[in-house]
Structure 1
Amino acid sequence: MSACKSYPPLPLDSGASYSLTSDSPRILEQAQPQLSMEQKLDWAVGKSFANQAWVSAPASTRARDGLGPLFNANSCVACHQHNGQGQLPEHGPGLILRIATSGANHNAYGEQLQDHALLGSQAEGQIGWRDIASPGLASSHQANLSHRQYFIEQARYGDTNSMAFSARLAPALIGMGLLDRISDELLIKRSDPEDRDRNGISGRAALRWDEQQQKLRPGRFGWKASQASLKQQVALAFSQDLGIRSTIYSAPNCPPSVPSCDHEFALSQNPEPEISAKLLNAVTHYIANLAVPSIQNTPDLQAGYQLFIKLGCANCHIPATEINTAAVGLQASLTSVTMQKETIYPFSDLLLHDMGPGLADSAATDNTPAAEWRTAPLWGLGMRSRDDTQTRLLHDGRANSIKEAIHWHGGEAEGSLQNYQQLDSHSQTTLLNFLKAL
């Protein structure tokens, strides 16, 4: 193993002032502890509109209508149950198919398959899959690895054999408000696409268009780092997952060539969005101010942390990041509050890395090469992998354990994987126990 910088002991408050210590299984639904009473009221409004189901328009509940006509879910928590990650399709919503920007029928489907529709409309299709063994990976990584190849069943617009798909599991909503406060300058400084330091890691910042600031900024949300701000990520989910127009995404999520979408295009000529700017801010405020569970102080924690660094895992899963943070109410401006520097521990550089052929999609999606993925933050990993029967890790949920997720790492992470494989069983267990404590 190559020499690595030494890190001080890992603190338990990974979310800094947003951290909360609790054994409650509903901890991901708690507000961060620094909110004022007024901000908690704003937060509760956002929670209501994130949790309750949206309905089709027109309806008596005007603030909550506008669903569809094509959609994947009728609420945020349908995919992010209890603010956790999504389900595999046989168990419920929470996994969607992104569509590569090529293929004969791409324009009919858009960027994402919508597998639900309002009464009177027809869904674009259903998610199907077949299991694919990966004998080459299993041989080199000493693990029995397999994954799913996803496709469209009951396709509405004919043959989809020429199209390529990428399955994306809805992530847990942990810490998104803190990631939103990482400076653009820091992400650009971390970027090293030419591997100038010759450490085998060539992460790059994904420059994405920010509709609010009208400029390119480093992406930080989504499996491909496709969104630069939390508000825009929330607006995109309303658009593509629920079919709800906002001030940021005002066009209907419905192909113009589909007759049942004519009504949606007529509505799009009306400048009034289906979710108001105020309610979009409320939902964003709710997600931004969710508490971050503290790290468990287990006997293996610090030893496993040092192993994590020595293996080279921290080259991409950077433990500590400094941010400017403040809890901001819906009516407050950033200039009216006192900003303070804090150190959070998301264990991610938020950059795109080539993860090798094993994790590569069949085609590029989201204007990103097939093998490149944003470094997934690791905070909350223990909660996501506590139940062996419910563990779904990596972008498509293919890994049923932390150990299996490690074995899928390739490309820029190949060296770290080899270092892990060279550990004795006791050291491997120490590392895994550390990851389960996050």
Structure 2
Amino acid sequence: MVDSPLTRARRGVGVGMLGVGVLGLAWMLTPGIPVLFAPRVSAEVRAAGLELFAHEWQPHDAMARGDGLGPVFNARSCVECHSQGGVGGGGDNSHNVLAFEAFPTQDRPDVKGGLIHKFAVANQFLDSRAELSKCFPIIPNGIRVEGGCQVFTQDFDPVHTQAVNSTALFGAGWVDRISAKTIRHESLKTASARMGREIVGHFGGVIPGRPRVLTDGRVGKFGWKAQFATLEEFVSAACANEIGLGNPGMEQARPMVRVNYPQVERDLTDAQFRSLVGFVDSLPRPVEVVPDDHAQRSRAERGKVLFAEIGCAACHTPDMAGVQGVYSDFLLHRLDDRSRGGSGGGGYSERPPVPLPEDYPLPEEWKTPLLWGVADSAPYFHDGGSPTLETAIQRHHGDAESVTAAYQKLAAEDRAAVIAFLKTLRAPADAEPVSPPTVARRHLVVTR
């Protein structure tokens, strides 16, 4: 029997569709395209970005098109909060910011978040906890929805505040190039491995985290709550919220006491903003510095092995998408054990009357911090509440409770070896040095 042209055409279409399906399945099972090239910007762009990053902004600053610093802000420059180990590093507790979330209610189903700013350019603009409470008042006899039923409960304060420490930005350009597919793939692989262990009766180990899926479907990578998908968005929000610099991506933060603060021209031009993002994108990546002394080197190498054996590497994944030494899975994990009263991870004791959106982080969930450069980025944890690496490890609860228990069972010399390994993860030696402030503060802005 001779095939007709129509039959051959149908067969060709069928084979083609099968091929596409096979390729699609193969793509789904792969971890995505690795990061092959280092971030690069021109010397001119980097120099312009460094100037903007280190500049101490003033009200009506000559470098700004709008009103310059403020009206509310937490710092006068980027480097003020990002200085440890060089320009772009982490910050100490004196530069923590106070973030807030207003959980959903019957009248306001969305989560609102922001900052209670430390400073303002004038007294009448100062933020405060009292002003925040006026914006999001306590709900008397709040109503909670459970399983479609309304349950009357006690008074409910929708506002949750949390001190947040500034993270190091070294290597941010490499992180920006890690694909969402890689993060999802690693998450699925970790969850599948745990399921396999549970099938054969092994129920211990680290509880897998979950990717932060933003409202537009992208995966978050930047911020303690993984609330930003790209480095550009992170820089844009930091300029607007921390310094009060309106930019092409976001308007400046407005005072709580005067939300009708007049709109002004955005402070940063497109070219300035691109230069600033380009500088942060090109910040050098941290390095692992192996000690020259044989005994110290052996101890650090022993600690690296133990780091993986006790389960630290289950969340602090050493390599991701070809980016070596990053030590993060970029997933959300619960670090709070509610039986401990919420001290482990900033947990919130009351359940909101309206459930949080499915993909929104719980108060006790935090993105796994990157450990590259960790030796030069104390204090630790999202709130800077752990002054040393030892106290930070001991503070891991919730999903990481088994790791903390395993660490505590190690002999003293082995615990010291783990710390010795972590101390080899240093800030990049070629980071720009931090210079003393060059702008005289003759006109001090208002402090609380």
Aligned to 1:400: 387
Counting only pairs closer than 5 Å after superposition, residues 5-404 of structure 1 correspond to structure 2 as 39-57=42-60, 59-63=61-65, 65-81=67-83, 82-89=87-94, 93-101=95-103, 111-119=114-122, 121-125=124-128, 152=129, 162=157, 163-192=159-188, 195-198=191-194, 200-209=206-215, 215-250=216-251, 252-254=252-254, 258-259=257-258, 261-264=259-262, 266-267=263-264, 272-298=265-291, 299=297, 300-323=299-322, 343-357=323-337, 358-362=344-348, 367-384=360-377, 391-404=378-391
Report deviation, 1:176.
0.9
Q: Which of 225-234 and 272-281 deviates more?
A: 272-281
Q: Which runs of 5+ in 2 are unaligned?
A: 1-34, 139-156, 195-204, 292-296, 338-343, 426-448
Deviations 1:112-171 (A, max 9, x none): 11121113543113xxxxxxxxxxxxxxxxxxxxxxxxxx48989599884321111011
2:281 aligned partner, one-letter code: A
Sequence identity, in percent? 27
Partner SS, residue 278 of structure 2: helix
Taking a change above 3 Å as real, the CA distance of residues 434 and 110 of structure 1, as seen in their structure-2 partners, is closer
Aligned-residue offset at 1:206: 0.3
Q: Could you tell me how far 1:273 is from its partner in structure 2? A: 2.6
Cα 1:262–1:398 shift into 2, 3 Å: same
Q: CA deviation at 1:200?
A: 4.0
User: How far, CA to CA, are the matches of 2:169 and 2:63 in structure 1?
Assistant: 27
SS of match in other structure, 1:197: helix
354-363 vs 238-247, greater mean Cα deviation = 354-363
Q: Is the 8 A contact 2:212 2:360 kept in 1?
A: no
Pairs aligned (count)? 337
| TM-score normalised over the length of structure 1 | 0.69
Alpha carbon RMSD of aligned pairs, Å? 3.2
CA distances 1:259-292 after superposition (whole Å, capped 9, x unpaired): 4x5443x33xxxx532122211111110111112
Query: What is the CA–CA distance in structure 1 between the aligned matches of 2:115 and 2:360, rounded to whole Å?
Result: 14
How far, CA to CA, are the matches of 1:110 and 1:416 in structure 2? 32
After the TM superposition, which parts of structure 1 deviate over 6 Å for at least 4 consecutive aligned residues?
15-18, 153-156, 158-161, 363-366
- 1:61 CA displacement: 3.6
**Equivalent-residue separation in structure 2 for 1:229 and 1:56 (angstroms):** 29
The residue identity in structure 2 corresponding to 1:370 is: P
- Are residues 171 and 317 of structure 1, via their aligned partners in 2, closer, same or farther at CA, if it must alter by over 3 Å? same
Contact 1:182/1:322, CA 8 A, preserved across alignment: yes
Instruction: Report the Cα distance in structure 1 between the residues aligned to 2:211 and 2:118, rounded to whole angstroms.
Output: 32
Q: 1:369 to 1:154 in 2, by over 3 A?
A: closer
User: For the structure 1 residues 60 and 421, does the alpha-carbon distance in structure 2 shift closer, same or farther, using more than 3 Å as the test?
Assistant: closer
Is 1:410 the equivalent of 2:397?
yes
How far has the Cα of 1:433 moved from its partner? 0.3
Q: Tell me which residue corresponds to 2:445.
A: none
Tell me, yes or no, if the aligned pair for 1:244 and 1:274 is still in contact at 8 Å: yes
Q: Return closer, same or farther for 1:115/1:321 CA change in 2, 3 Å cut-off.
A: same
Name the SS for the 1:234 alignment partner: helix
Whether the 8 Å CA contact 1:99–1:113 is kept in 2: the answer is no
AA aligned opposite 2:368? T
Displacement of 1:419? 1.1
TM-score, normalising length from structure 2?
A: 0.68
Query: How big is the shift at 1:208?
Result: 2.0
C-alpha distance in structure 2 between counterparts of 1:240 and 1:232, whole Å: 12
AA partner of residue 360 (structure 1): G
In 2: Cα distance, 1:120 partner to 1:165 partner: 23
Task: Write the distance in 2 (CA, Å) between the matches of 1:232 and 1:197.
Answer: 33
Displacement after TM superposition at 1:60 (Å): 3.9
**SS of structure 2 residue aligned to 1:308:** helix
Cα distance in 2, alignment partners of residues 421 and 290 from structure 1? 36
Letter in structure 2 aligned against 1:253: A
Deviation at 1:312, TM superposition (A): 1.0
CA contact (8 A) 1:96 1:169 kept: no
Residue pair 1:352, 1:375 contacting (<8 A) in 2 also? yes
Note the C-alpha offset of 1:319: 0.3
Amino acid across the alignment from 2:407: Y
Decide whether aligned partners of structure 1 residues 196 and 294 sit closer, same or farther in structure 2, where only a CA change above 3 A counts: closer
Amino acid at match of 2:227: S
Q: 1:397 Cα shift?
A: 0.7
Q: 1:56: Cα distance to partner?
A: 2.4
Residue aligned with 1:321, SS: coil
Q: Whole-Å Cα distance in 1 between the matches of residues 160 and 248 of structure 2?
A: 30
User: Quick one: which amino acid aligns to residue 78 of structure 1?
Assistant: E
Contiguous gaps of at least 5 residues in structure 1: 1-14, 19-33, 126-151, 210-214, 324-342, 385-390
Say if 1:367 and 1:66 are closer, same or farther in 2 by CA, change over 3 A.
farther
CA contact (8 A) 1:85 1:94 kept: no
Distance 1:61 1:249 in 2: 18
User: What's the offset of the Cα at 1:399?
Assistant: 0.6
CA distance in 1, matches of 2:360, 2:90: 24
Against the structure 1 CA distance between its residues 373 and 392, is the aligned structure 2 distance closer, same or farther, given a 3 Å change threshold?
same
**Cα deviation code 1:52-82 (max 9, x no counterpart):** 022323x544458532111111211121123
